[in-house]
Amino acid sequence: MLVKFFFRLREAGVPATIPEFLALLEALRAGLADASAERFYCLARACLVKDERHYDRFDRAFAAHFRGIEGALETLARELPADWLDRLAEARLSDEEKARVRALGGWEALMRALRERLEEQKSRHQGGSRWIGTAGTSPFGAYGYNPEGVRIGQDGSRQRRATKVWDRREFANLDDDVELGTRNMKLALRRLRRFARSGAADELALTETIDATARSGGWLDVKMVPQRRNVVKVLLLLDVGGSMDDHVRISTELFSAARAEFKHLEQFYFHNCPYERLWRDNRRRSERGVDTFELLRTYARDYRLVIVGDATMSPYEITEIGGSVEHWNAESGAIWLRRLLQAYPRHAWINPQPEALWDGTRSIAITRELLEGRMFPLTLAGLDAAIAELG
């Protein structure tokens, strides 16, 4: 049964591995699940899922796998012994509340209604928990499982138990299918690092010190060197034009990876195509921004220029004077792009648009021509190739 469950998880995209699965079995053998479905769920999740973004996939697979065979696990049973509820009611409900329950058609009807409503609510956990929350002292809380009745007298978690944890899918918004995590990006960007020792000598050079000490006949002669620093400088231009909206997440990931990796990173924003002005802060787009000439003067040739954009626009925005959609540009985008590329001989354009679509888009073809082919897709392989070009 569990082997099937394991494969089901993998099919659902939870990257669980064999050692993790064995760890789960070991934990089960150690009696950690206590024959309780909920404990088993927690345990399986702790063992097999290592990223909260996969919690939702796990929940779905778990629900799908155990729905049919719940009966097999005694404690998973949805059916409660009738007198158990009565006992519970005696213990917890006031006479007034009991009267209200009777008015609603008794336990039977109530349970049926509740069950139906829970079914309906599976997909909307937010409303679901609120709805159950408003039920408050009603028996809905008791519908949750704790057939052993151990927690009857305990407040607090009862409400949360009213729907199964895995059916509530509370981690749905954390799920993402990104192949290219920031970690991968950082590892790719690492290859661009250039180390050099510069600045104040504040690190002990052990081998030199030993060497110098030995040479001076045993008298300690301490040698210091400056720290090793990553000296590569990167000038990053990010397209934030309308068509980039589809690629915002992956672009921000690239940006955050770059931010963490390079000390000398300058970023500017442009819309569709760089013209005479660029923006330092995307939120202040309405401001005048930075003169592109000034940028060319400020940052020296040793900066590596990385442009991130989909280059998907009307061809006129690149080739024509006045082609920009936002303002009147006195010089065409192509001229500005050429200036940038000339000023920074080590450059690359990273395009989040899938490579298969490049040929079909006229503006991408024009941009590639201007770049002499140095356009790379925003994939790991593409990033690697771009870095090799920049290095």
Judged by the rule CB under 8 A, the positions of this chain that interact with another protein are 15, 17, 19-20, 23, 26-27, 30-32, 38-39, 42-43, 45-47, 49-52, 55, 129, 155-157, 159-160, 165, 170-171, 181-183, 186-187, 190, 204, 206, 209-210, 213, 218-220, 222, 260
**Overall size of the chain counted in residues:** 391
Instruction: Give min distance, CB of 232 to another protein, in A.
Output: 16
Residue 162 CB, nearest approach to another protein (Å): 12
Which of 91/224 has CB closer to another protein? 224
Minimum distance, C-beta of residue 158 to another protein, in the bound complex (Å) = 9
Q: What is the dihedral of CA 273, 274, 278, 284, to 10 degrees?
A: 0
Measured from the CB atom, is 14 or 80 closer to another protein?
Answer: 14
Angle at 79 between CA 78 and CA 83, to 5 degrees: 140
Contact of 131 with 159, CB cutoff 8 Å: no
Closest to another protein by CB, 135 or 335: 135
Shortest approach of another protein to residue 141 CB, angstroms? 11
Q: How far is the CB of 167 from another protein (least distance, A)?
A: 15
Q: What is the closest distance, in whole angstroms, from the C-beta atom of residue 39 to another protein in the complex?
A: 5
Q: Which is nearer to another protein, 22 or 300 (CB)?
A: 22
DSSP designation for 227: E
Give the whole-angstrom CA distance, residue 6 versus residue 17.
9
**Is residue 305 within a helix (H) or strand (E), and if so which, with residue range?**
strand 304-308
Name the residue with tokens 């509820």: 85
**What is the closest distance, in whole angstroms, from the C-beta atom of residue 155 to another protein in the complex?**
8
Cβ proximity to another protein: between 129 and 319 the closer is 129
Nearer to another protein, 20 or 317 (CB): 20
Considering the complex, state which of residue 18 and residue 356 has its C-beta at the smaller distance from another protein: 18
Distance of CA 238 to the CA centre of its chain: 20
Nearest CB to another protein, comparing residues 107 and 171: 171
Pairing of strands 347-351, 304-308: parallel
CA atoms within 13 A on the CB side of 254: 24
Residue type, 155: D
Tokens in use for 2? 């569990």
Which stretches within the chain are classed as H helix? 2-11, 18-29, 37-48, 55-67, 82-92, 95-103, 106-121, 125-135, 140-143, 157-160, 165-168, 182-190, 206-215, 248-261, 292-298, 316-319, 333-343, 362-371, 380-390
Tokens (6 digits) for 226: 């400056």
Q: How far is the CB of 50 from another protein (least distance, A)?
A: 4
Based on the number of CB atoms within 10 Å of its own CB, is 316 exposed (0-12), middle (13-18) or buried (19 or more)?
middle
